[in-house]
Amino acid sequence: MTGKQRMLQTLRFEQPDRPPHFEVMFELEREAFGLQFPDRHAWQGCARAEKERMISTCMTIYEKIVARYQWDALAVFWPWSDPDGVRAAKATFGDDILIGSIVGGTIWSIEGMTDWEQFAIDLAEQPDVIHAEAERKTQAALAKFEELAEAGAEFIHVVNDVAFNAGPFISPTQFSEFITPHLRRQMQHIRSLGVIPFVHTDGNIMPILDDYLSLGAACFQSVDPMAGMDIAEVKRRCHGKMALMGNVQCNLLQDGPKEAIRKSARYCLEHGAPGGGYIFGTSNTIFPGMPLENYEYMLEVYREFCDDHRRSRSLSQSLF
């Protein structure tokens, strides 16, 4: 089974041979391979030849990541939201893995906020201003989705942080008015392009989980355990409607100890994997400063789980 087949099977809520795995970003390339992605600021305004050289560097690193860590998909993160990066990844990996891209800033969100006070005033006194900006963001996002789909993206991961550990950044009622309709249009547009929509936020979205279920997203990524998101409960509510990705606790991958990493990874796999609809991964990304050995230990636990699952399935088949 190829990585792409494994991803598509689990997104259909079927049981693949093992839960698929990839990460939204991997930024420990120097520690792992002695190589380095181009600086994130180097892409803006660079000449065509230089861009092609940098994309080639990225593909070399992606090949090493996919081979060593057996990723089943790749969301091309450098160059960011770039059709040329998607084309290069499709040429590099073909149909071996599922190829996608990442688009952020598509709705009002925490990381895009520049003036919280004015935002609060407008929410109360000028809702039309909030809607107008949301519409502008949506139109820009729809155009970007079309470019990425034309380049061959098979999934698009739409990333906007809309919740803190305590809950959504605006009330659930306001969220349903100012965020949900725009995000739903974005998910629907991605599907209309024949592309699979993924959606991300950190934080506790339990008060607005029904809003997320209404979007039509194929997969929700993060399932943030630091914010109290219990994957067992989220899976219970989402299974058959929206697949899940993530939930291995990032602060444990940062700080350890290994036994806590093991416990978090096993909990995700034991509650997320049965019946498909789960992609194994961290609750965020593999970010700079995380000890590489901790990510690799997380994957050791993952392989043990997969081996246990295969042995159990073989035993069951031999008994009947």
* Domain-wise residue ranges, the chain: 3-319
Q: In the numeric block, which tokens belong to residue 48?
A: 């065509």
Which residues sit opposite 99 in a β-bridge? Answer: 74
Q: What is the pLDDT along the chain (320 residues), one digit of tens a residue?
A: 999 999 999 999 999 999 999 999 999 999 999 999 999 999 999 999 999 999 999 999 999 999 999 999 999 999 999 999 999 999 999 999 999 999 999 999 999 999 999 999 999 999 999 999 999 999 999 999 999 999 999 999 999 999 999 999 999 999 999 999 999 999 999 999 999 999 999 999 999 999 999 999 999 999 999 999 999 999 999 999 999 999 999 999 999 999 999 999 999 999 999 999 999 999 999 999 999 999 999 999 999 999 987 876 654 444 43
Contacts of 155 (CB under 8 A, 6+ apart): 73, 75, 98, 99, 100, 195, 196, 197, 198, 218
Please compute Rg for the chain using Cα positions: 20
Across 35-91, the runs of DSSP E, i.e. the strands, are: 73-76
- Contact between 199 and 174 (Cβ < 8 Å): no
pTM for the whole structure: 0.96
- Contact between 269 and 305 (Cβ < 8 Å): yes
User: What's the CATH number of domain 3-319, 3.20.20.210, 3.50.50.60, 1.10.569.10, 3.40.50.720?
Assistant: 3.20.20.210
- Contact between 205 and 213 (Cβ < 8 Å): no
Provide the 10 A C-beta neighbour count for residue 178: 19
